[in-house]
Amino acid sequence: MLEHGGRLLRAVRQYGIAREQWLDLSSGIAPWSFPIPPIPLEAWARLPETDDGLEQAACSYYGATRLLPVAGSQAAIQALPLLRSPSRVGVLTPCYAEHPYAWQRVGHALLELDEHQVDDALDDLDVLVLVNPNNPTGRVVPAPTLLGWHQRLAARGGWLVVDEAFMDNSPGNSVMESAERPGLIVLRSFGKFFGLAGVRLGFVAAEHSLLLRLTELLGPWTINGPSRVLAQASLTDLAMQQLQRQRCADASERLAALLTHAGLAPAGGCDLFQYVRCEHAARLHDHLARHGVLVRLFERPAALRFGLPPSQADERRLAQALSAYPKDLT
């Protein structure tokens, strides 16, 4: 099983600290959830309808012509490799580990790349996969660069798969409006920006024929009725969206300043997390956990990802835990 953030119950057992005493910063999910609307009984009692307005609301929010709702973008990550014959797949790393795992586990040949290697490697690839902004580093590849890579791949029947799970806070970098071009596939995640990861909802944008194949593979009723009601309300709540973007930006700026003051200047990040390269990342991760602060540990390269503290009191708690760490080990 691959490692993910949000494994709070495991930390509770490992460190013997009660769940309610933890400050969980281990995921890149906004710590403020959009309001839950009233869910009519019909949403629970009837099979979900696909013409209830969710797809239209999502297309308007994301700036897409056509979208397929899926049970979290994870569902698409696992399904897309099944829609190609054995291929040569490049993945920009480090990135969300489920991407390379999904392609490799069904027999595709995998090549891990950094951004500077893509141009030289592209003509030998059938598929290029990347997360933009990247998880965990926050790296952003400009849209014109992505569309240039796509053009080269599509000319040979290849795919460019762009996971925009963290794009809601900076939608100007999205390639969603070009997603109907053959060979361009864009994934979006609902849970992170809206602070509702438990809903398990994502969207796929691509040419119509590919969406039909993906629909057939995933089957009917992938999104339950209550989730469809909730998501539609969130996707059309413009005031809450503006508030969410502003408070994420402000909290991320304060978090970066806090980490820098502690001698841990971020090497990257976005408005939902900060990324710190640290030779002693594992030791610092353990130190913070012993103080009831859970962050995400990466081993290759050694690094930590800090999610947004929900309040300024939580920021002070993080600062206090960091101040207790021996300075000669940072």
pLDDT for 11-44, tens place per residue? 999 999 999 999 999 999 999 999 999 999 999 9
User: Residue range 85-97: average pLDDT?
Assistant: 95
Give residue-wise pLDDT tens across range 291-302.
999 999 999 899
Q: How far, in Å, CA of 136 to CA of 292, rounded?
A: 22
| Structure confidence at residue 326 as a pLDDT band (50, 70, 90) | confident
Task: Specify the residue for token string 């291929």.
Answer: 87
In this prediction, residue 156 carries a pLDDT of 95
In whole angstroms, what is the distance from residue 99 CA to residue 142 CA? 20
Which residues of the chain does CATH 3.40.640.10 include?
Answer: 41-236
**pLDDT score of 2 more than 80:** no
Residues 198-235: b if buried by 16+ CB within 10 A, e if exposed = ebbbbbbbbeeebbeebeeebeeebbbbbbbbbbbbbb
Share of the chain above pLDDT 90, in %: 95
Residues of the chain with CATH 3.90.1150.10: 8-33+239-329
Q: Is the peptide bond before 133 cis (omega within 30 degrees of 0)?
A: yes
pTM above 0.75, yes or no: yes
- Per-residue pLDDT, averaged over 122-126, amounts to 96
Rounded to whole angstroms, how far apart are CA atoms 68 and 187?
A: 10
d(CA 162, CA 152): 15
User: How far from the centroid of its chain's Cα atoms is residue 26's Cα?
Assistant: 13
What is the model's pLDDT at position 4? 61
Report d(CA 188, CA 140) in Å as an integer: 15
Task: List, in sequence order, every beta strand (DSSP E) within the chain.
Answer: 23-24, 68-70, 88-92, 109-113, 127-131, 159-163, 184-189, 202-205, 268-270, 273-277, 293-294, 296-299, 302-307
Residue of 161, 165, 166, 171 whose CA lies nearest to 206? 161
> Per-residue confidence at 113, pLDDT binned at 50, 70, 90?
very high
Asked if the model's pLDDT at residue 105 lies above 80, the reply is yes
Q: Domain 8-33+239-329, CATH 3.90.1150.10 — does that match?
A: yes
More confidently predicted of 3 and 289: 289
**Window from 4-8, 49-53, 163-167, 197-201 with minimum mean pLDDT:** 4-8
Residue 288 confidence (pLDDT) above 90: yes
Residue 7 — pLDDT band, cuts 50, 70, 90? confident
CATH 3.40.640.10 is the classification of domain 41-236: yes
Backbone angles phi, psi at 303, to 5 degrees: -160, 165
Q: What is the mean pLDDT of the chain?
A: 95
pLDDT, tens only, 146-199: 999 999 999 999 999 999 999 999 999 999 999 999 999 999 999 999 999 999
